[in-house]
Structure 1
Amino acid sequence: MSKFKERLKNGEKLFGPFINMNYPAVVEVAGMAGFDFCIIDNEHGEIPVEGTLDMIRACKLAGIPSIVRVYEGNPELIDKALDLGADGVQIPNIGSKEAAEIAVSAAKFAPEGSRGCNRYVRAGKYGSIDKADFFGKANDETAVILQVEGQDGVQALPDILKVKGFDVLFVGPYDLSASLGIPGQVNHPKVIAQMEEIMRQAKEVGVAVGFFCDDVATAVEWKNRGVQYVSFSSDIGQLYERFKEAADGFAKG
């Protein structure tokens, strides 16, 4: 089992940013800063497949787990991210048990899934890993994170939680707020109530929960409530905030 998955199993609270900029030094800095993981964002970020490979390499160099968020639950995208050597995949818009099963299956080799078998890829160290070791251990090493973002996923949650083989149920508060007719109001009581109910159901079956937070104070709040996989802002968002703070401070000084 990977150290990342082992830490989740042990109940640790992990903290990491979304990476939207296609610049490997950013994930190196994130690792040096002490984050627990990075989410390389292929859904909303500017990072192509070639860039994703370099970002994964930079994560490895910095000693920080790489999670690739694919832009949809397409098995080919999931397979590609894992072949490139990602430590895990994050799949958005899981709205049904069937969607969850497809995503998990795509991330697992047989007999647990349908991931394409090729050890001559970066994940298999280009064939230098013995095939028995690679195919035998990859399923246990790879983290699978499923995102529930809309009311379809909320309604299907009892069935989604029955699916075996995923490690984190991640809630996207912005999309959740939009599905409730209050887009962007992530602190609205309706959003908080749904999040708390999702956490209750996940806790009953022993599934770790993830949540996105814009700021550190909110991240600490949800950590203390029991969220284990806390995603924090984004590289570009943090860069803007620090630049804005500096520019405003200079203007007012």
Structure 2
Amino acid sequence: MNRLHRAIELAEGKPILGAAVYFYDPIFLEMAAHLGFKAIWIEMEHAAITFAEAADLCRMAAGSGMLTMIRIADTSRNNVLKAAECGPDMIDIPMADDVGSVEELVRYARFAPVGARGFFSVSRALKYGLVDDVPAEQQKLNEDLSLLAQIESKEALARIDEICAVEGVDIFIGPADLAASLGYPGQTSHPAVLEAASTIVRVARSHGKKIVTACGAADYIHWTRLGIDLLFATNDIVCLRTGAQLALKAAAEAIAQAAMEKVHSHHRVEVGEG
């Protein structure tokens, strides 16, 4: 049982809640831990986070008691290996549209005999070689590291049964890209998108898969009802933007109220003088 599965078991049927980091910000990560988030998504597909920074974020998250997930750009050997050496709890690949890409993830992320991960014995993932038996530690890592295939296109939806049949890989559902692929960009609550999500969950569960997703507040209830295992509920940019918007709105309203009170005050003085 890998680290993600153990955490899901301890959650006793409730989704684990996580937050994503799109830029290198230890402060946000630590705040997320204090707030009660249990997992951190380190974004390396769209964001400019480096592998060195990703490794640091994994260290900090582990020290804060949180699970870590790195999403890489693709399943190239270079990306999979470097992400794995950072020592995350999960590696996620986007746009897992076919079995081949999922099998490639397994090949590069698992040590022999399961896969063909390079024998590098001094990475963070292997405790820098500070173990009694490196091959034994590698096999333990094969069990501990969770691999996720992101289903977020109509092509992946059409092949969902064969993708879910790949052993040792759980499922991450990407609602935003799935909605766009189905012809409803930005409409993650569209009935066709919700139906597709339900289908993916049903098929994944039939194969014994754990299920991860990320969504906005408007879709929390739907995904919770589907019984997912890990929900990434926000990210650093959204939190920063929302906080800035709230502060700006509150300040603007206070300025407007003060101006109105000033007008009324002048009016009362003028009436009194008249």
The TM-score, its normalising length taken from structure 1, stands at 0.93
Q: Which residue of structure 1 aligns with residue 236 of structure 2?
A: 235
- Size of the alignment, in residue pairs? 251
Q: Deviations along 1:147-200, whole A, 9 cap, x unmatched? A: 01111111111100110011x311111111111122111111111111111111
Structure 2 portions without partners, runs of 5+: 255-274
| More moved, 155-164 vs 217-226 | 217-226
Identity over aligned residues, as a percent? Answer: 29
Contact 1:17–1:232 (CA under 8 A) maintained in structure 2: yes
Cα 1:157–1:210 shift into 2, 3 Å:
same
Contact 1:28–1:61 (CA under 8 A) maintained in structure 2: no
Q: Matches of 2:145 and 2:213 in 1, distance apart?
A: 20
Q: Which residue of structure 2 aligns with residue 206 of structure 1?
A: 208
- Counterpart amino acid of residue 223 in structure 2: W
Q: Matches of 1:182 and 1:221 in 2, distance apart?
A: 17
Q: Which residue of structure 1 aligns with residue 147 of structure 2?
A: 144
How much does 1:9 deviate?
A: 5.0
What is the SS of the residue equivalent to 1:46?
coil
Q: Which residue of structure 2 aligns with residue 111 of structure 1?
A: 113
Contact 2:4–2:90 (CA under 8 A) maintained in structure 1: no
Q: Which residue of structure 2 aligns with residue 124 of structure 1?
A: 126
Q: Matches of 2:232 and 2:149 in 1, distance apart?
A: 13
Q: Matches of 1:84 and 1:212 in 2, distance apart?
A: 22
Q: Deviations along 1:224-248, whole A, 9 cap, x unmatched? A: 3211121123111111112101210
The partner residue of 1:17 within 16, 19, 27 is: 19
What is the SS of the residue equivalent to 1:17?
strand
Cα 1:152–1:172 shift into 2, 3 Å:
same
The partner residue of 1:68 within 67, 70, 92 is: 70
Contact 1:5–1:141 (CA under 8 A) maintained in structure 2: no
Contact 1:25–1:58 (CA under 8 A) maintained in structure 2: no
Structure 1 portions without partners, runs of 5+: none
Query: Aligned runs of 1:180-195 on 2, under 5 Å?
Result: 180-195=182-197
How much does 1:2 deviate?
A: 4.4
How much does 1:98 deviate?
A: 1.3
- Counterpart amino acid of residue 138 in structure 1: L
- Counterpart amino acid of residue 4 in structure 1: L
Q: Matches of 1:107 and 1:223 in 2, distance apart?
A: 30
**1:154 matches 2:146:** no
How much does 1:206 deviate?
A: 1.6
Contact 2:3–2:146 (CA under 8 A) maintained in structure 1: no
What is the SS of the residue equivalent to 2:30?
helix
Q: Which residue of structure 1 aligns with residue 251 of structure 2?
A: 250
Q: Which residue of structure 2 aligns with residue 29 of structure 1?
A: 31
Q: Matches of 1:118 and 1:209 in 2, distance apart?
A: 30
Instruction: Give 1 or 2 for the bigger CA radius of gyration.
Output: 2
Contact 2:80–2:105 (CA under 8 A) maintained in structure 1: yes
- Counterpart amino acid of residue 172 in structure 1: G
Contact 1:91–1:147 (CA under 8 A) maintained in structure 2: yes
Q: Matches of 1:182 and 1:66 in 2, distance apart?
A: 31
**4+ aligned runs moved over 6 Å, structure 1:** none
Q: Which residue of structure 2 aligns with residue 94 of structure 1?
A: 96
The TM-score, its normalising length taken from structure 2, stands at 0.86
Contact 2:15–2:230 (CA under 8 A) maintained in structure 1: yes
